[in-house]
Structure 1
Amino acid sequence: MLIVFFTAVSIHAQSTEDKVKFSKTISRLHFEKDETKKAENLLWTANYCLDRPGNYKKDLDSAALLNRQSLKISKQLNLKSNIAQSMLLDGKIAKERGNATLAGKLKQKALDYAIAQDLKKDMAEAYTSIGLDYDGSNLERNTGDLLKAASLYRELGSFKEEAETFTNLSIIYNSAYQPATSIKYASQAIKIKKSIKENNFFSEYTMLALNLRIQGKYNTALSYALAAEKIIDKASDKQWQTVLINLIGTIYSELKYHDKSVEYYKKAITLAKENKDVEGVTSITINTVRGLYSRGKYNEALEILNNGAKYSPNDYCNIEYPSLYILLYCELKKYEKAKPYFEQLLKCSEQQNNNHLAVEKMYYAMIHYLLKTGQAQKAYTYIDELKKLSVVNDDLYNRSQLERTHFEVDSANGNFKDAIQHLKNFKRLNDSIFNINSSKQYADLQLKYETEKKDENIKLLTHKNELQEVKIKTEKVIRYIFIGSLIVLCIILGLLYSRYCMKRKTNAILEAKQEEINTQNRKLQRLVDEKEWLVKEIHHRVKNNLQIVISLLNTQSAYLDNDDALEAIQNSQHRMHAMSLIHQKLYQTDNLSSINMSWYIKELAEYLKDSFDDDDKIKFKLKLSEIELDVAQAVPLGLILNEAISNAIKYAFPEHKGIINILFEEKDEHYLLRIEDNGIGLPENFESNESDSLGMNLMMGLAEQLDGTFSIESDKGVIITINFIKRETTL
């Protein structure tokens, strides 16, 4: 028996083209002049990061950062649709982070904005996203949102999106145990797709098969499932394919075609493992073991169950595996090995479990153990529980299984009159499922499906035969051409000899020209070497000039008595030294285009510590990645470091020792610089935007020059954070 609990989602496979587009878009964002297009590209890349396979924090952080940048531009340009989409994306990101409450509020806020601006497409997308957050608690609200989305899509003429919305409604109603309503919406989705010439129905066919099987309509269910299998093979959708193959195996199992059942179950396990679908592997392993158990292959079933146990949830009351172990060990007459699992189920049966089918299987396994170990009288307790569950799982298969088990329990207890009546009921229900005509229909249905496959194979073989005939004819033509070619070759050889003599003369001329080219190349190489020397000389002289200016300022400070003027000169000296370090590094190394920031930050920190900290009361803790930046980014970053470290040393620790932490690392497509101290912090009501401090304004301006973000906060000290994107290094 199978039940599939779906969560309605829209799966967006990321193609190779999308990956290439993402790389190109990211590299061009900084140079994009059209602000509207830049906002759209930022939004697209944010969605791409969110939709990447897996749930990685770095992808969510990148999506959030890109989305904030897009929203900022969109608000400046009043791009209403972009604003609505960014607001909705914030909700999706919160959902992926596991904050369902915040996600709901953000999505509702996006919907309210779209309604206020009369953005129907964005309204539909917001309704869809809210409706898909179905957790089983409020079916009416979620389906109501999806119906509103479907109505808007129809009004906009977006019929494909309307069909997908109905498919999601079908999935939700299936998970809510309402097969009739689920069938209605799946059929509606198929009708719309047919009207727009869209022939990909595998998800809708799968939903129809799932629900029809629950209703006991196995003939029609198998027909739709096999039809979906043909479509899904071409579509190569592995997620849905696993569900479908498992479903077909289950239908065959319930029809007692156990060989076909196990064949499909094993195929489904392979697909689930390829997709790293742990829950799928567990579910299909259980179905496979039941199929082998029904065929009496207990040892093979036990081996598969043991192999699949490593994928099972680490939960004491995961009752499906213990139930199967009881059935198998009882059939193998290893009752002592079955006993611990029975005792485990006794404890778990006292707890609430909403998985009715798993609970039902648990009771059947416990009854089986009691019958096998001579405790048949105790089985009536679980017969009563199964009767209660039969009201929920009311289909022919479940009812027939209950009657058969009741017959076995009555027989074991000597209640032969009641046992005979239950046996009659079982036969009647079983015959209604497996009558002769129905069995023939299933066989005909399978024959039709296999015949269609054979027809396709015949067509393929015919095509191969035609290709073989063409190949033979081609080989004959090639043979004749080869003979003719030999004759022509003799003629050509004579011509080649005459050409050889001419070629020797030509080669002599070419060698002379090559020597001339080599001479020019050597001259060009000398020019390149001279250029590199000149660039190094320029950096050397710039560094020397900065040192001269620093010395002049130092001399000037000796004639000043004004403390503010002296501090201003000292600050200027430190800023010039920060720039001087960069030029010093450039002329000392062969790399003229970039600076090793790990080396630079260590040198700058050591210089500032020597300048201010005579008593060695301040410690530096550096966590620096090996990152290369070009001069255009290294200079403003160095000036920011100079201001932040100088302020921390001068103001953060008036009376006690302290620690300054500096972090510089690469995260995804951007860099993070954080300077943090454990000093006295900022004054109350401090606002960086309103500060008239030169240093603060300088840091904010330099952060903008880096096309990055600047933030400062006070929490047991001061934390300054700079986020920016790396530019391409140029010489």
Structure 2
Amino acid sequence: MLLLIRTGILFFFLQFSFIASAQPIARQKGDMLKLELEKKLNDTVRVLKLQELSLYYVKKVGELKVDMDSSYVFAREAELLSNKINFKRGKWMSYILYSQIYREGQNKEKGKKELDKAFAIAKKYKINWLEGEAYLELSDYYEFTTSGIKIRIQNIEKALHAFTKAGQKKKIADLLVYYGAHYYYLGKFKDALQKYNEAKKIYTAIGSTDLQNFYSQIFKTYSKLGLYQEAITYGHIAVKYGERNKDAFFMADDYNHLGYAYYNVENYELALECHKKAFELSLKVFPDNFNFYIANSIIKEMLKLKRPKEAKHFLDTELKSQKIKDDRDLIWYRISQIIVYDALGNLKLADKYCNEVMYLQEKNKKNLLQISSFEVNNTIISHLFKVKNYELGLKYQEINKNTSSKIKDINIIMNGYLMEFKLDSASGNYSSAITSLKNYHKIKDSLFNEVKSYQISNLEVKYQTENKDQNIQLLTKESALQKAKIKSDKVAKLIAGLVLFLVLIITGLIFRGYQNKKESNKKLEASKDRIEKKNKILQNVVQEKEWLLKEIHHRVKNNLQVVMSLLNTQSSFLKDESAVIAIKESQNRINSMSLIHQRLYQSEGLSCIKMPEYIKELISHLKDSYPVNYNFIVAVEDIEMHVSQAIPIGLILNEGITNAIKYAFPNGEKGTISVTLKHFENDYFRLEIADNGVGIEGEIDISKYNSLGMKLIEGLSRDLNGKFEIINADGLKIMITFVYDYAFNFK
């Protein structure tokens, strides 16, 4: 029997996807069992089918009395038939079923009495499988509190011990997944993965194929560790199993969490696609539950993709058509409205809905889960930041800070510090803002180091496993050599019996040759081992240097981001427009360098930048920084450049494009700015920044221009050993011709 997923509280299921002792059996499975029971069946088979149908009703979504009554009827029929045919297993399993029925029906006292009967029989007759089922059922009598989980784990360990003695491998594997899920809830994600890996070995050994829930748990645990690429890999495996089983119940949850993983790696397009699938499935499986919650993720991703009109259309059509049943639905509907109207700049309407949400949240605070209140507060804080109500925003942030310590999610705690930094910076509390920013980067770096540590430990395990396999192969070869030697000795003895003198001479020669060969082989083996060890050491040194370089780029990027944040904070308090513009231009220059270090630590290479992607991202940032109405034409050759050339080029582009945006089109008319980076001739490349604006009147003399931007471009051109030119041609064109440094980019 499978370890299944509990859904007593469906919102908890979507938030944590925490497996417990039972999941809902598919409705079509329940209908199929009813049809099978109408046929003429063997009495033993009929008992098992009746008990399975009883389990179907007790584990249906919700805890309706009619379902508990139906479950009891089928369980009772199975018990009576078991007594009639003296089917002891069926009789004993009835006690477990009754316990589940009464417990789900909120009559735990009566359920405990039935469970005690199962324990008494298991102890009296030493029935290990029944003892395991009883301890597993007993674990569900305790809540998910710190003390409750401790007792649950103790019962799970006893159940594991009992099933191990019973030799039920499938049950052991399912229980290990259940065990790992408790560690997941406690925030001990590495311990959870250890239990999942133990379960995986058993599943592989017995050839189990029903593994959707198993891979789903691994997928969500990797997400919590911040290993999003690994999480996405396992998430797709879980979805693949779900599609094969046509199990919409779990598919909705898997697509929902897969969307979160893609969101965290900033692939908003795929995140949106996954959440749309989750939304469609949730309408079929839980039409009265999670539609408004999942819709909230869809709207966030549309806004991240710069599609506010599409988000507004989704809000006004798809979401508005859903029936609002209670205050919880209304809260999530209003949350979506706040996000959309904030994005559209309608702060007054967003403020109205925000006040309503604050009222509804206070009214229902006893009925909202911690994670639900946390996400609602995040939206409230974000809106209060936009309307500059920093004092109230900090109060809600303090509530979230207390909640995050209970949720045990390092990502939530980290983002909480980031929000504190923004609020304190905006309200002028710079000392507290700097402390919050330091805490944010401290946790971010610790998470980064923890992820890298986990990856390194995995590499070490892999290396040790491979080394062990090599040793086994060497031992096998040595064993084969020993067998060959024994066979050779037997032949020698036979020949010695026929021609003693001749055999003695031949045997002496053979033995001497064998000794020489053996000695030579030993030397070769020792030499081979030394070479392999040196190669391994060199590989480890190279890998360590690569990790250190990535860490350096990571830290440099973080420091540049801190500088940009501080400049941004400073600019909000400056009234001199020229000073604000100067700070903004400095931010753009820092960003052009920050983008390079960000790409270096996220990429395979450690010193080369893919120029097409970098230039497009830089232009995108500049477009977001200025209210432009221009068309950009980008023609960049598919080439990588060393950071020593990429940084000057990035700064030149920043200055040239900023200059065109500010001066080429003085009256706000439409125009075109083109950026070209292509091979020119021989080893030369040419960078061009051109516009079709007003240009510069008269003859251009570079030496007469004393602006900082022009001096920067001229100096950076010299750094590239390039030729700097400015031409009036239907606008202004800046050209830098430089030698491409192949030595740095040689692979």
**Normalised TM-score (structure 1):** 0.52
Shift in Å, 1:365: 2.6
Greater mean alpha carbon deviation, residues 146-155 or residues 53-62:
53-62
Shift in Å, 1:78: 5.3
Preserved CA contact (<8 Å) 2:18 2:181: yes
Q: 2:53 is matched by which residue type in structure 1? A: Y
Residue by residue over 1:241-285, the C-alpha shift from the partner in whole angstroms, topping out at 9 and shown as x without a partner, is: 222211111011122211111111101111222323543434322
Q: 1:315 is matched by which residue type in structure 2? A: D
Aligned with 1:207 (options 214, 217, 221): 217
Residue by residue over 1:600-657, the C-alpha shift from the partner in whole angstroms, topping out at 9 and shown as x without a partner, is: xxxxxxxxxxxxxxxxxxxxxxxxxxxxxxxxxxxxxxxxxxxxxxxxxxxxxxxxxx
Counterpart CA distance in 1 for 2:271 and 2:227 is 18
Q: Partner of 1:412 in structure 2? A: 426
Preserved CA contact (<8 Å) 1:26 1:45: no
| 1:194–1:336 CA distance, 2 compared to 1 (3 A) | same
Q: Partner of 2:397 in structure 1? A: 383
Matched, 1:268 2:278: yes
| 1:259–1:116 CA distance, 2 compared to 1 (3 A) | same
Matched, 1:83 2:97: no
Counterpart CA distance in 1 for 2:168 and 2:337 is 51
Preserved CA contact (<8 Å) 2:189 2:225: yes
Alignment identity in percent? 20
Matched, 1:198 2:234: no
Residue 242 of structure 1: SS of its match in structure 2? helix
Q: Partner of 2:693 in structure 1? A: none
Q: 2:428 is matched by which residue type in structure 1? A: G
Residue 279 of structure 1: SS of its match in structure 2? coil
Matched, 1:357 2:362: no
Shift in Å, 1:143: 2.6
Q: Partner of 1:342 in structure 2? A: 354
Counterpart CA distance in 2 for 1:216 and 1:304 is 30
Counterpart CA distance in 2 for 1:17 and 1:318 is 34
Q: Partner of 1:152 in structure 2? A: 162
Counterpart CA distance in 1 for 2:413 and 2:76 is 57
Matched, 1:436 2:599: yes
Q: Partner of 2:46 in structure 1? A: 41
Q: 1:544-693 alignment to 2 at 5 Å?
A: none
Counterpart CA distance in 1 for 2:291 and 2:299 is 12
Shift in Å, 1:202: 3.1
Preserved CA contact (<8 Å) 2:82 2:90: yes
Q: Partner of 2:123 in structure 1? A: 115
Counterpart CA distance in 1 for 2:190 and 2:243 is 27
Aligned with 1:328 (options 331, 340, 344): 340
Aligned with 2:233 (options 220, 223, 231): 223
Larger Rg: 1
Q: Partner of 1:644 in structure 2? A: none
Shift in Å, 1:387: 3.4
Preserved CA contact (<8 Å) 2:223 2:261: yes
Matched, 1:187 2:197: yes
Preserved CA contact (<8 Å) 2:390 2:423: yes
Shift in Å, 1:163: 0.8
Q: 2:114 is matched by which residue type in structure 1? A: L
Q: Partner of 1:614 in structure 2? A: none
| 1:404–1:79 CA distance, 2 compared to 1 (3 A) | closer
Counterpart CA distance in 1 for 2:388 and 2:295 is 30
Residue by residue over 1:428-480, the C-alpha shift from the partner in whole angstroms, topping out at 9 and shown as x without a partner, is: 877886853664479xxxxxxxxxxxxxxxxxxxxxxxxxxxxxxxxxxxxxx
Shift in Å, 1:3: 3.6
Shift in Å, 1:159: 0.5
Counterpart CA distance in 1 for 2:420 and 2:26 is 53
Greater mean alpha carbon deviation, residues 381-390 or residues 302-311:
302-311
Matched, 1:256 2:266: yes
Residue 222 of structure 1: SS of its match in structure 2? helix
Matched, 1:141 2:151: yes
| 1:280–1:175 CA distance, 2 compared to 1 (3 A) | farther
Counterpart CA distance in 2 for 1:353 and 1:41 is 42
Preserved CA contact (<8 Å) 2:24 2:61: no
Q: 2:337 is matched by which residue type in structure 1? A: Y
Q: 1:373 is matched by which residue type in structure 2? A: V
Shift in Å, 1:58: 6.3
Residue by residue over 1:116-171, the C-alpha shift from the partner in whole angstroms, topping out at 9 and shown as x without a partner, is: 33322222223223334554242123232222222222222210111112222233
Counterpart CA distance in 2 for 1:178 and 1:104 is 30
| 1:295–1:192 CA distance, 2 compared to 1 (3 A) | same
Counterpart CA distance in 1 for 2:380 and 2:28 is 52
- Structure 1 unmatched runs, 5+: 30-36, 443-731
Counterpart CA distance in 1 for 2:30 and 2:375 is 46
Residue by residue over 1:499-534, the C-alpha shift from the partner in whole angstroms, topping out at 9 and shown as x without a partner, is: xxxxxxxxxxxxxxxxxxxxxxxxxxxxxxxxxxxx
Counterpart CA distance in 2 for 1:333 and 1:302 is 12
Preserved CA contact (<8 Å) 1:266 1:288: yes
Q: Partner of 2:56 in structure 1? A: 51
| 1:200–1:373 CA distance, 2 compared to 1 (3 A) | same
| 1:299–1:352 CA distance, 2 compared to 1 (3 A) | farther
| 1:312–1:105 CA distance, 2 compared to 1 (3 A) | farther
**Normalised TM-score (structure 2):** 0.51
- Structure 2 unmatched runs, 5+: 1-11, 449-553, 555-597, 606-747
Q: 2:102 is matched by which residue type in structure 1? A: A
Shift in Å, 1:325: 2.9
| 1:389–1:295 CA distance, 2 compared to 1 (3 A) | farther
Greater mean alpha carbon deviation, residues 277-286 or residues 348-357:
348-357
Greater mean alpha carbon deviation, residues 253-262 or residues 121-130:
121-130
| 1:133–1:238 CA distance, 2 compared to 1 (3 A) | farther
Q: 1:259 is matched by which residue type in structure 2? A: E
| 1:223–1:115 CA distance, 2 compared to 1 (3 A) | same
Counterpart CA distance in 1 for 2:136 and 2:191 is 19
Counterpart CA distance in 1 for 2:27 and 2:128 is 28
Q: 2:177 is matched by which residue type in structure 1? A: T
Counterpart CA distance in 2 for 1:364 and 1:279 is 21
Counterpart CA distance in 1 for 2:45 and 2:293 is 42
Matched, 1:295 2:305: yes
Q: 1:398-547 alignment to 2 at 5 Å?
A: 398-415=412-429, 419=433, 435-436=598-599, 439-440=602-603
Preserved CA contact (<8 Å) 2:33 2:49: no
Counterpart CA distance in 2 for 1:427 and 1:43 is 57
Q: Partner of 1:286 in structure 2? A: 296
Preserved CA contact (<8 Å) 2:21 2:136: no
Residue by residue over 1:191-222, the C-alpha shift from the partner in whole angstroms, topping out at 9 and shown as x without a partner, is: 21122232554322221221222232323323
Q: Partner of 1:366 in structure 2? A: 380
Counterpart CA distance in 2 for 1:415 and 1:60 is 58
| 1:251–1:74 CA distance, 2 compared to 1 (3 A) | closer
Q: 1:412 is matched by which residue type in structure 2? A: A
Q: Partner of 2:537 in structure 1? A: none
| 1:340–1:103 CA distance, 2 compared to 1 (3 A) | farther
Shift in Å, 1:427: 7.0
Counterpart CA distance in 1 for 2:153 and 2:102 is 22
Counterpart CA distance in 2 for 1:378 and 1:147 is 47
Residue 16 of structure 2: SS of its match in structure 1? coil
RMSD value, Cα: 3.9
Preserved CA contact (<8 Å) 1:40 1:70: no
Q: Partner of 2:679 in structure 1? A: none
Counterpart CA distance in 1 for 2:149 and 2:386 is 43
Residue by residue over 1:687-709, the C-alpha shift from the partner in whole angstroms, topping out at 9 and shown as x without a partner, is: xxxxxxxxxxxxxxxxxxxxxxx
Residue 405 of structure 2: SS of its match in structure 1? helix
